[in-house]
């Protein structure tokens, strides 16, 4: 009987861990937020509409994450409508701003500039054909993505903590910080 009890305890721990997994930040779905970086890396080879479509994917991901976090806040404060409205707005706004900066704007700009300057250097010093140069620039852009993700995420987190999150009350900041510590 004790092995059944142990099995039940293990299942309960596993269920608890699964409930804490953030679908939008702890699973491969997170990579949808980086679709625009791939678009930027391929900018010299794709039509502009294709590059813009990757931004639609990344922004849709940001909206979905903001909706998810605001829905969780809505459920957490279901018995307090006045506080619920405020918490839903904070959760949605904070999440969307974080995603817009950390997943879309800053990485997209960074990859764009890496590719732009790589192309400029290759045009000046390379004897490779223009199509080969485009592939090299694309490879440089794609290879830079894994190196920029975590520093940008951390910088946005610190930047928001020191700016916009200062607007939240102390209680709300503590709740938000506790949630983020659990996620990390």
Tell me the chain's radius of gyration from C-alpha atoms. Answer: 21
Q: Measured between alpha carbons, how far is 181 from 77 in angstroms, rounded to an integer?
A: 20
DSSP letter for each residue of 52-96: HHHHHHHHHHHHHHHHHHHHHHHHHTTT-HHHHHHHHHHHHHHHH
Q: Which residue range(s) make up the domain with 39?
A: 28-183
What is the full per-residue pLDDT of the chain (184 aa) written as tens digits? 555 555 555 556 545 555 678 888 888 898 899 999 999 999 999 999 999 999 999 999 999 999 999 999 999 999 998 889 999 999 999 999 999 999 999 999 999 999 999 999 999 998 999 999 999 999 999 999 999 999 999 999 999 999 999 887 666 656 656 666 665 5
Determine the pLDDT at residue 21.
84
Residue 4 lies in a domain: no
Please work out, in degrees rounded to the nearest 5, the angle formed at the alpha carbon of residue 92 by the alpha carbons of 89 and 94.
100
Q: Looking at the 3D structure of the chain, how many domains does it have?
A: 1
Domain-embedded: residue 7: no
Residue 42 within any structural domain of the chain: yes
pTM: 0.79
Q: Is residue 61 part of a domain?
A: yes
HSE of 161, CA atoms in CB hemisphere, 13 A: 10
Q: What is the pLDDT of residue 167?
A: 87
Within a domain: 152: yes
pLDDT recorded at residue 169: 62
Q: Could you tell me if residue 18 is inside a domain?
A: no
The pLDDT value recorded for residue 3 is: 58
Query: Which tokens is 14 given?
Result: 């596993």
pLDDT for 23 equals: 87
* Any domain includes 8: no
Domain assignment of residue 19, yes or no: no
CA atoms within 13 A on the CB side of 73: 25
């Amino acid at each position: 009987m004790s092995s059944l009890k142990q099995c039940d305890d293990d299942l309960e721990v596993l269920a608890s861990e699964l409930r804490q997994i953030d679908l939008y930040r702890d699973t491969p779905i997170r990579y949808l937020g980086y679709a625009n970086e791939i678009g930027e890396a391929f900018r010299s080879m794709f039509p502009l509409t294709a590059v813009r479509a990757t931004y639609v994917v990344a922004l849709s991901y940001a909206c979905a994450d903001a909706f998810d976090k605001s829905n969780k806040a809505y459920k957490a404060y279901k018995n307090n409508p006045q506080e619920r409205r405020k918490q839903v707005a904070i959760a949605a706004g904070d999440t969307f701003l974080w995603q817009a900066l950390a997943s879309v704007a800053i990485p997209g700009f960074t990859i764009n500039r890496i590719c732009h300057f790589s192309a400029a250097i290759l045009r000046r010093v390379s004897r490779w054909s223009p199509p080969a140069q485009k592939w090299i620039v694309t490879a440089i852009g794609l290879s830079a993505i894994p190196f920029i993700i975590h520093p940008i995420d951390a910088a946005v987190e610190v930047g928001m903590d020191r700016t916009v999150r200062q607007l939240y009350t102390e209680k709300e900041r503590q709740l938000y910080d506790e949630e983020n510590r659990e996620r990390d």
